[in-house]
Amino acid sequence: MPDVNEQSPTLVSQELIDATLRAAESRGVPAADVTLRDIALEAGISRSTLLRRLGGTRQALDEALRAAGVEPSGRKSVRERAIEAAAHLISRQGLATVTFERVAVAAECSVPSLYVTFGGRDELMRAVFERYSPILDVEAFLAGPRGDLEDTVRRFHRLLADAVEREPRVLPALLAEVFARPGDDNVRLVFQSATPRLLAGLGAWLSAEVSAGRIRDLPLLLLTQQMTSPILLHFLLRPVTSRTTPGDLPSRDETLETFTQSFLRAVALPAPESGD
């Protein structure tokens, strides 16, 4: 028989959660700083009714907000902190060093909260790569308006260079793992999720250029590698090269233009002559 003094947790309605978030947004403050009076006003009820629905304490509301992925104090969610912490660990120490225990310490959260948020390490790694690789940038770029072939290649090369140089340097760390341990399970996991998306986006554009007669009909994987590999390798090595042979290193813009023209010379087809 249950203890008569035992209280079941108060269930906070989505309506009250939404009202709290609207009040916080309209006032430009964290949810924890919104008064109960303002929440009640936003929800269209009295303060006493709000308190009654919360079981007489604000704690239930704060717990409901956290369950919805919102930190009442305005602090970033566990998911955001964990992704950022894992990215910095990868950048500084490599892919294999990322464990839930280390991420929890760096993100100032518990290991169980990471399992609740991600389910496992694999999903955390996918989220990190999604955030810090060029995949999302490439997809957005290819989905938007583009210029002619030369302009598109030039802008795409700049996008890749930006991704390699972005801090924390997750992409260089991942590429270094590929060179050092190509058969490692961590490497396969990341690139198995990324490669199909890259081929689907960039590959579709390259296939369209082939069909239009603007570039040579080569195997799609080789075309993709020919467009991306020189840029990735150069900017991966550029920090070292700049210290060992600084006088021989061309500027960033000159480098990008050189690779753009090299790709075009290798694969671009001459425009068909117009008839009289």
CATH for 27:
1.10.10
In a domain, 205, yes or no: yes
In a domain, 1, yes or no: no
pTM for the model stands at: 0.67
In a domain, 129, yes or no: no
For residue 7, how many C-alpha atoms fall within 13 Å in the half-sphere facing its CB? Answer: 7
196 and 84 in a common domain: no
* pLDDT tens-place values along the chain, 276 residues long: 444 344 445 688 889 988 988 888 887 777 888 888 889 999 999 988 988 888 888 888 888 887 777 777 767 778 888 999 999 999 998 888 899 999 999 988 888 888 888 899 989 988 898 888 888 888 888 888 888 999 999 999 999 999 889 899 888 888 888 788 878 877 777 777 777 777 778 888 999 999 999 999 999 989 999 999 999 999 999 988 888 877 788 999 999 999 999 999 999 998 776 554
198 and 245 in a common domain: yes
228 neighbors 206 (Cβ within 8 angstroms): no
48 and 100 in a common domain: no
For residue 133, how many C-alpha atoms fall within 13 Å in the half-sphere facing its CB? Answer: 19
In a domain, 91, yes or no: yes
Count of domains for the chain: 3
Q: Which residues contact 259 (CB under 8 A, 6 or more apart)?
A: 157, 230, 231, 234
Structural domain range at position 56: 14-67
87 and 52 in a common domain: no
The reported pLDDT for the residue numbered 273 is: 67
DSSP string covering the chain: ---TT--PPPPPPHHHHHHHHHHHHHHTS-GGGS-HHHHHHHHTS-HHHHHHHTTTSSHHHHHHHHHTT--TTSPPPHHHHHHHHHHHHHHHH-GGG--HHHHHHHHTS-HHHHHHHHSSHHHHHHHHHHHHSSHHHHHHHHHS----HHHHHHHHHHHHHHHHHSSS-HHHHHHHHHHH-TT-HHHHHHHHHHHHHHHHHHHHHHHHHHHTTSB----HHHHHHHHHHHHHHHHHHHHHHHHHSGGGPPPHHHHHHHHHHHHHHHHBPPPPPPP-
207 and 162 in a common domain: yes
Give the CATH number for residue 94.
Answer: 1.10.10.60
214 and 168 in a common domain: yes
The reported pLDDT for the residue numbered 74 is: 66
The reported pLDDT for the residue numbered 41 is: 92
In a domain, 98, yes or no: yes
155 φ, ψ (degrees, to nearest 5): -65, -35
215 φ, ψ (degrees, to nearest 5): -135, 160
* Residue 230 buriedness (CB in 10 A; 0-12 / 13-18 / 19+): middle
The reported pLDDT for the residue numbered 4 is: 39
191 and 114 in a common domain: no
45 and 86 in a common domain: no
The reported pLDDT for the residue numbered 205 is: 92
144 and 83 in a common domain: no
100 and 48 in a common domain: no
In a domain, 126, yes or no: no
Give the CATH number for residue 243.
Answer: 1.10.357
